[in-house]
């Protein structure tokens, strides 16, 4: 598995990361088909497959239902075998999302994630934006809070899962990385990726396949083609692929060769 440096953080990521929303939540999601949350045996097989494929980068969040708790129980091997990214700012309780970006809430959220994941540090923590990126950064001071937690040794790298171009660029001014949407039909954030490249900051790509919608009815759409499109942009560090199917994960990895 090809690996890339995450900006100036000293962290090296595989170019594919495993997104884990499907391990803990199947309501109010934007996938084209409904699905059943996999049982522990199926999750263990998926994680073992990821480890075998050198996909040791895991993306989770409190908003992903029981994902964090399950990973804390089921991740194989030692903690240092894995690079774990979580988020803060959004919670998902009783089928509803809620957002809070206060210093107290973000701090408690990160510490709760540490407990759920059974670790004393997180490699990456991203602010889980509600779409009002600049307000969260400049008025709520959310990235400042993460910077404080980084100084305490609880986090190795900080950033935001952004939803606007302005928010992505502002995030890169203040933090280590940004997560942005980028795929052949949603290219608005290329300028953010280019900006990250000039500043030697990290970029994680979400929704490279538009949550499964991109290739749903297009015979000419291929996994290999989409990866080529995304990785042709020099600033991209890693793409997060959300799956609960080991064969699908293996197919994604093989398509990079």
126-160 residue pLDDT tens: 999 999 999 999 999 999 999 999 999 999 999 99
Are 109 and 42 within 8 A, CB to CB?
Answer: no
**Residue 203 backbone phi and psi in degrees, to 5:** -135, 125
Q: Give, as one character, the DSSP assignment of residue 247.
A: H
Torsion, Cα 237 142 73 246, to 10 degrees, reads: -30
- For the whole model, what pTM was predicted? 0.95
Residues in contact with 104: Cβ distance below 8 Å, sequence separation at least 6, in sequence order: none
Residue 123 has pLDDT above 80, yes or no: yes
Strand pairing partners for 180? Answer: 205
Are 143 and 175 within 8 A, CB to CB?
Answer: yes
Helix (H, G, I), strand (E, B) or coil at 49: helix
Average pLDDT over residues 121-127: 98
Confidence of residue 211 (pLDDT cuts 50, 70, 90): low
Confidence of residue 180 (pLDDT cuts 50, 70, 90): very high
| Count of domains observed in the chain | 1
Alpha-carbon span 79 to 77, nearest angstrom:
7
**Percent share of the chain, pLDDT over 70:** 96
Lowest average pLDDT, out of 5-14, 22-31, 88-97, 183-192, goes to: 22-31
What sign does the CA torsion over 51, 54, 58, 59 have?
negative
Query: What CATH number does residue 9 fall under?
Result: 3.20.20.100
Are 73 and 41 within 8 A, CB to CB?
Answer: no
Kindly report the average pLDDT of the chain as a whole number.
94
Question: Residue 186 belongs to what domain range?
Answer: 3-254
Residue 22 has pLDDT above 60, yes or no: yes
User: Catalytic amino acids?
Assistant: 64
Q: Which helix (H) or strand (E) holds 134?
A: helix 133-134
Confidence of residue 214 (pLDDT cuts 50, 70, 90): low
Confidence of residue 220 (pLDDT cuts 50, 70, 90): low
Alpha-carbon span 11 to 19, nearest angstrom:
18
Q: Which residue has the higher pLDDT, 59 or 34?
A: 59
Q: Which residue has the higher pLDDT, 245 or 210?
A: 245
**pLDDT reported for residue 34:** 84
Residue 218 has pLDDT above 80, yes or no: no
Give helix then strand counts, H and E, for the chain: 9, 12
Q: Give the HSE-up count for residue 148: Cα atoms under 13 Å, Cβ half-sphere.
A: 12
Q: Give the HSE-up count for residue 30: Cα atoms under 13 Å, Cβ half-sphere.
A: 8
């Amino acid at each position: 598995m090809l690996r890339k440096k995450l900006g100036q953080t000293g962290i090296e990521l595989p170019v594919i990361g495993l997104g884990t929303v499907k391990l803990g939540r199947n309501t109010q999601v934007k996938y084209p088909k409904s699905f059943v949350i996999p049982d522990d045996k199926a999750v263990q097989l998926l994680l073992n497959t990821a480890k075998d494929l050198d996909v040791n980068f895991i993306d989770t969040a409190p908003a992903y239902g029981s994902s964090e708790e399950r990973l804390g129980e089921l991740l194989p091997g030692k903690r240092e075998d894995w690079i774990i990214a979580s988020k803060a700012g959004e919670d998902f309780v009783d089928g509803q999302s809620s957002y809070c970006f206060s210093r107290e809430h973000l701090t408690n959220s990160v510490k709760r994630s540490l407990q759920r994941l059974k670790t004393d540090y997180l490699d990456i923590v991203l602010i889980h934006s509600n779409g009002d990126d600049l307000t969260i950064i400049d008025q709520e001071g959310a990235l400042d809070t993460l910077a404080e937690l980084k100084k305490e040794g609880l986090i190795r790298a900080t950033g935001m899962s952004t939803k606007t171009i302005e928010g992505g660029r502002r995030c890169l001014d203040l933090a280590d990385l940004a997560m942005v949407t980028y795929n052949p039909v949603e290219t608005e954030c290329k300028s953010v990726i280019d900006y990250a490249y000039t500043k030697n900051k990290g970029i994680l790509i979400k929704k490279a396949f538009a949550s499964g919608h991109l290739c749903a009815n297009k015979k000419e759409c291929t996994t290999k083609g989409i990866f080529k499109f995304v990785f042709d942009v020099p600033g991209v560090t890693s793409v997060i692929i959300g799956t609960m199917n080991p064969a699908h994960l293996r197919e994604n990895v093989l398509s990079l060769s």
